[in-house]
Amino acid sequence: MADTHECDGGCALKRRDFLGAAAVAALALLQGACGDGQIGPSAPRADDDDNAGGGGAAGSGALIVSLAAFPALASVGGVARVDGGSGLPVALVRTGAASFAAFSLRCPHQGFTVEVQGGSFRCPAHGARFNSSGTWTGGQPTSNLTVLPSVFNAGAGTVSITR
């Protein structure tokens, strides 16, 4: 099979040149379709302080979590993602009858969103694992999850988390 095709106008187009140009065009379209061309998570946005997860504002950057909305938090050792899927990803762990620990679910390795798996956490991107205290336990070496300040209001049945 010949490597050229004769055009009606007498031009010769090499298959190699055509495929190269088509590949460059396809990559340009792909980058345009994917937004800014960045692969992986983006930096935290200014709107990461949105409230979600069954609560309202208790001040700038606060997330109010209604415990009734998360059955997993009814017993000690329960873990739940409580941000409602918007803003900074946040998990809450019930550590005692009247105590809780909150963690950012941004992996300290490269910022991907860490997933809740039973009573622990795992980064789906690189396999880092963390226990319910947010301590790195294996997989991709990294630091511990970031602890977020939290305050339990027993009367209201809520936990206020500062993000």
Q: Please report, for the chain, the start and end positions of each structural domain, with discontinuous segments joined by +.
A: 4-33, 46-162
* Pairing mode of beta strands 147-148, 136-138: unpaired
Q: Which residue has the tokens 């690189």?
A: 126
Q: What is the pLDDT of residues 5-55, one digit of tens each?
A: 455 555 555 776 766 666 555 544 444 444 333 333 333 333 333 333 444
Residue type, 82: V
Question: Is residue 58 over pLDDT 60?
Answer: no
CATH homologous superfamily for the domain 46-162: Rieske [2Fe-2S] iron-sulphur domain (2.102.10.10)
Calpha distance 100→150 (Å, rounded):
7
Q: What is the pLDDT of residues 113-143, one digit of tens each?
A: 999 998 999 999 999 999 999 999 999 999 9
Q: Would you state the pLDDT for residue 61? A: 76
Q: What is the pLDDT of residues 84-117, one digit of tens each?
A: 888 899 999 999 999 999 999 999 999 999 999 9
